[in-house]
Amino acid sequence: MVPCSPGTDFLRFKGVRVKHLRHFFWVGSVVLAMLAAVPMTAVAQSQGTGKSATAKKTSSDAKRKAYAKRSARVVRPARPSDAMRAGLHGTRDPLSLRSSVAYVVDQETQEVLFSKNEEAVLPIASLTKLMTALLISEAELPLDEAITITRDDVDTEKGSASRLRIGATLTRGELLHLALMSSENRAAHALGRTYPGGLDVFVEMMNAKAQLLGMQDTRFVEPTGLSSKNKSSARDLAVLVDVASEDELLRDYSTSRAHQVADGRRKLMFSNTNRLVLNPRWEIGLQKTGYISEAGQCLVMQARVAGRNVIMVFLDSAGKLSRLGDAERVRRWVESIPVKQQIVPMTDNRTEPQATRVL
């Protein structure tokens, strides 16, 4: 560092003129600070990059562990139905139906057209609601009476959901409609709960009605079908369908395609659980579907097939759509039978090939 020229107060430092010595030291401190900041910034960036990389690695490890856990998880098979545990799934039949139980009857002549394990007493799920609806209709209670859904109507048996909230108020007629068409559990329970005398009296009436109709294999413990203790046989259910199909209100409600109800300002649209009511090839007078794991997929119908009124009962069908497929197979088979000579396959309820009977 040397003076720039005599008589001046400038200093020259590596070719840079600096006025006064204090300015020189101030500039020097700034330069030193800048030089010191460079490695600190680099370190901070390096640390930040390290933290980001560590976070990404941790996230990646967590994802790999979660995937490994899911892959190693044991998949539990669906709970076998009562019919499956009884070995009824092994019963063969000429139509290769997927239902463990099938029963087809000419409603007018009471001729048994097809039978398969028809004596087996099994859970019937929401087919129960057909008896519930029959009692409500026969009681001639006012259908325009308002009924409010309460906590008592919530399913504590299976924990099933419902679109009818607690506090929703509908008429008895609307609840009856939804119970038959959409298999609404809270609707069915509310119908039984508000029956004169209460729920216990209603269940007693259900069982009394079954006995009156000669349904010796049938027992009810509640009005929805959520309990697997609600049991019956295909033969008994055919009797129930026969009687219920004479009720015009039950025919209309069970076969309607859709229905809208008002819950306050909300509009709720419900649809039929049986898509066959939408099929123009079917002329269905009455129907009801049902499902719980113990019962499997169930279906009962009264329909006009090939010029005759036929009652069909299918219990414990293996698959959500297989009960409908079984109904289609039976319909095509009935349509193919000659009018004067009807060949009727009859099962012997064993796993051997079935015999046929000519009427």
Q: In terms of C-beta density within 10 A (0-12 exposed, 13-18 middle, 19 or more buried), how is residue 130 classed? A: buried
Q: Which residue has the tokens 């006009």?
A: 304
Classify residue 78 by its DSSP letter: P
Catalytic (active site) residue 160: no
Q: Cα(345)–Cα(95) distance, rounded to whole angstroms?
A: 8
Q: Cα(163)–Cα(156) distance, rounded to whole angstroms?
A: 16
Which strand ranges, in their side-by-side order, compose the sheet holding 16-19? Answer: 2-3, 10-13, 16-19
Question: Which is catalytic among the residues 126, 228, 233, 254?
Answer: 126
Contact partners, residue 204, CB within 8 Å, separation at least 6 = none
DSSP string, 73-85: SPPPPPPPPHHHH
Catalytic (active site) residue 46: no
Q: Are 300 and 288 in contact (CB under 8 A)?
A: yes
Catalytic (active site) residue 129: yes
Question: Which value, in Å, is the radius of gyration of the alpha carbons in the chain?
Answer: 38
**Of all helices (H) and strands (E), which one includes residue 47?**
helix 21-72
Question: Which is catalytic among the residues 81, 182, 183, 232?
Answer: 183
Question: Which is catalytic among the residues 116, 129, 231, 288?
Answer: 129
Q: Are 238 and 105 in contact (CB under 8 A)?
A: yes
Catalytic residue IDs: 126, 129, 183
